[in-house]
Amino acid sequence: MPSALIIGTGFAGIGMAIELQRAGLGDVTLLEKAADLGGVWRENTYPGAGCDIPSPYYSFSFAPNPLWPMRFSLREDIHAYLGAVTDRYRLREKIHFNTEVTGAAWDEGRGVWRVETATGRTYEANVLIPAVGQLSRPAWPAIPGRETFTGHAFHSAEWDHSGDLTGRRVAVIGTGASAIQFVPRIQPEVGQLTLFQRSAPYVVPKADTAYRPWQHTLYRRIPQTQLLERAFFWALCEFATVGLKSDNAITRSVDLLARAMRRRQIKDPVLRAKLTPDYPAGCKRVLFASNYYPALTQPNVSVETNPVKEITPTGVRTAGGAHHAADVIIYATGFRTTEFLGPMKVLGLAGRDLRDIWSGGARAYYGIAVPGFPNMFLMYGPNTNLGCGSIIYMLERQARYIRQAVQHLAATGSSSVDVRSEVADRFDEEVQRRLGHSVWSLCRSWYREPTGRISTNWPGLVSEYHRRTRTLDPSDYRVTP
Ligand code: NAP
């Protein structure tokens, strides 16, 4: 039986381990850099952190949770859910915590991956499955003077709970999915909040609801009822994704919805103009929040749209020279999304470095396999992110595909499979051609490399990804006996 090493214990790593275990391929070890599992749901502890995909859809299909407290769950509940599923499958004993992977190299002669860790311990396995996500390493902006600030500064993904924000002057830089969740939470307690916005996001209402006890009972007794809600949101996102494939009537209706919400919630025309996006809807992630604009209309909040030029020892200076004094700066500036596998050094056939192969942008066959890197399969790899939809749905498809590859190795007694470069190249050309027509190509965002290449998103519907990855085609691979 081939052995497998999985890097990371977020939804991707845990889902992958369960898939292999259920198929009887239980020789699995999971390496986790932190002391706990959970990926982004462990790391992001900012006030109000939660998921904007409804929980019945943002959960494993094989482990429905009838007891979600809310439709849009908060991180504590999602983290607890992942922990409970891990325990149900007795996976905790297979996780080596506090074990950060620094590099991995393919040993062609022996048909194994040799993995180095920061602890000094090395691991070997036939199959390597990096499951480290796209949204795990914070991006700090290159604003001059950042290190001179004498107040308190931190990134939203590394929230510092030690400091009290009560009555303080707080500067928030960034207006993405993270900022719109924590700004309404901290606004009532801070003295003054200055929000530095580089581009206005599209914000639409969040139809959240607390599930009642009778609904919990119903979901437990008749699981199909919860399945219906899951199917509804699946279908809604598939419909929305048709819009994201190009600028069309669906994206324009998102625009109308966002416009109506701004008219309803922001009475001041100057503030409303500031908060009006100047790019097509869907190009950056559309955000769901009903409490964001009301927080911005409070007297202790100001929205600054002049570009941030400099951080000074006492605050933030914007273009034009205005200085905004601050006691605390919170960087809600997102993640280093296009640096897949981050600081790890991964060496494939003939010692070729993955960083060199990906110097023109990360790419992989179905986001999973890279030519020249035998027996390495990525979870949530390049071009598998979604504009709308549950990433857990995609992860389950990837886990099934990878499990088939491992089964193929086991069944044929082969030492390795390596995706054919012509197959991977053809796939990449198709993906990039289709993304070139998508709404994501119309503005700058975390979906894109500095060169403009979109290396994060899947260009189609999740049902297409499901269909195309359902059965692994061995002829796509070079098999080494
Ligand atoms: P983000 O969407 O990348 O937002 C970063 C923000 O920082 C943007 O407003 C960006 O402006 C701004 N920014 C970056 N550099 C700047 C600079 N030098 N000066 C001024 N502003 C700057 O990051 P995020 O909010 O952390 O969210 C990232 C992703 O994580 C989300 O899109 C989502 O997929 C995921 N997430 C999901 C949830 C959820 O509910 N499921 C919640 C949080 C996060 P520009 O727009 O102009 O670049």
The 10s digit of each residue's pLDDT in 392-440 is 999 999 999 999 999 999 999 999 999 999 999 999 999 999 999 999 9
- One-letter amino acid at 92 equals R
Tokens matching residue 373? 């890197």
User: Does the C-beta of 178 come closer than 6 Å to ligand 1?
Assistant: yes
Q: Which residues pair with 423 in a beta bridge?
A: none
pLDDT > 80? residue 246: no
Residue owning the nearest CA to atom 22 of ligand 1: 174
Mean pLDDT score, 57-66: 98
Lowest pLDDT segment from 77-86, 221-230, 244-253? 244-253
**CA angle, residues 444, 446, 448, in degrees to nearest 5:** 65
Label residue 251 by pLDDT band (50, 70, 90): confident
201 CA distance to ligand 1 middle (Å): 9
How confident is the model over 84-133, as pLDDT tens digits? 999 999 999 999 999 999 999 999 999 999 999 999 999 999 999 999 99
Q: Is the CB of 180 under 6 A from ligand 1?
A: no
Residues 348 and 204: their CA atoms lie apart, in Å, by 45
Residue 26 has pLDDT above 90, yes or no: no
Counting residues of the chain whose pLDDT is more than 90, the rounded percentage is 96
Q: Which amino acid is at 309?
A: K
Query: In angstroms, what is the span from residue 481 Cα to ligand 1's centroid?
Result: 46
Q: Which pLDDT belongs to residue 268?
A: 98
Q: In 3-state terms, what secondary structure has residue 193?
A: strand
User: 175 in ligand 1 pocket by Cβ < 6 Å?
Assistant: yes
| Rg of the chain (C-alpha set) | 23
Pocket test for ligand 1, best of 77, 178, 233 (most atoms within 8 A of CB): 178
What's the confidence (pLDDT) of residue 296? 98
What is the DSSP-derived secondary structure letter of residue 175? -
Separation of alpha carbons 385 and 456, rounded Å: 6
Residue 247 has pLDDT above 70, yes or no: no
User: What integer pLDDT is reported at residue 124 of this predicted model?
Assistant: 98
Amino acid 249: pLDDT = 85
Main-chain dihedrals φ then ψ at residue 133, nearest 5 degrees: 75, 170
Q: Pull the structure tokens for residue 354.
A: 């993955």
Asked if 16 contacts 402 with a C-beta cutoff of 8 angstroms, the reply is yes
Which fold is adopted by the domain 138-201+287-334?
FAD/NAD(P)-binding domain (3.50.50)
- Which pLDDT band holds residue 163 (cuts at 50, 70, 90)? confident
Ligand 1 atom with the smallest distance to the CA of 385 is 34
What is the CA(329)–ligand 1 centre distance, in A?
A: 16
Q: What is the pLDDT of residue 418?
A: 98
Q: Would the CB of 354 count as within 6 Å of ligand 1?
A: no
Q: Could you tell me if the CB of 391 is within 6 A of ligand 1?
A: no
Does residue 333's CB lie within 6 angstroms of at least one atom of ligand 1? yes
Question: Is the pLDDT score of 244 beyond 90?
Answer: no
Whole-angstrom Cα distance, residue 286 to residue 388? 9
Q: How confident is the model at residue 199 (pLDDT cuts 50, 70, 90)?
A: very high
Does an H or E element contain 127, and which?
strand 127-130
pLDDT score, position 81? 98
The answer for residues whose C-beta is within 8 angstroms of residue 97's C-beta and 6 or more apart is: 32, 34, 35, 36
Q: Average model confidence (pLDDT) for the chain?
A: 96
What pairing do the DSSP bridges indicate for beta strands 112-117 and 192-196?
unpaired
pLDDT of 245 > 80? The answer is: no
Assigned token pair, 291 = 């409490």
On the question of pLDDT at 451 being above 90, the answer is yes
Q: How far is the CA of 120 from the centre of ligand 1 (A)?
A: 35
Q: Which two tokens stand for residue 416?
A: 């390795």
- CATH 3.50.50.60 range(s) for the chain read 4-136+336-480, 138-201+287-334
Digit-coded pLDDT (tens) for 329-367: 999 999 999 999 989 999 999 999 999 999 999 999 999
Q: How far is CA 60 from CA 19, 186, 239, 391, in A?
A: 11, 32, 21, 10
How far apart are the CA of 106 and the centre of ligand 1, in A?
35
C-beta of 295 in contact with ligand 1 (< 6 A): no
The verdict on the CB of residue 7 being under 6 Å from ligand 1 is no
* Count of alpha carbons within 13 angstroms of residue 337, beta-carbon side: 20
Atom from ligand 1 closest to the CA of residue 179: 25
Beta-sheet pairing, 101-107 with 95-96: unpaired
Domain 4-136+336-480 annotated CATH 3.50.50.60: yes
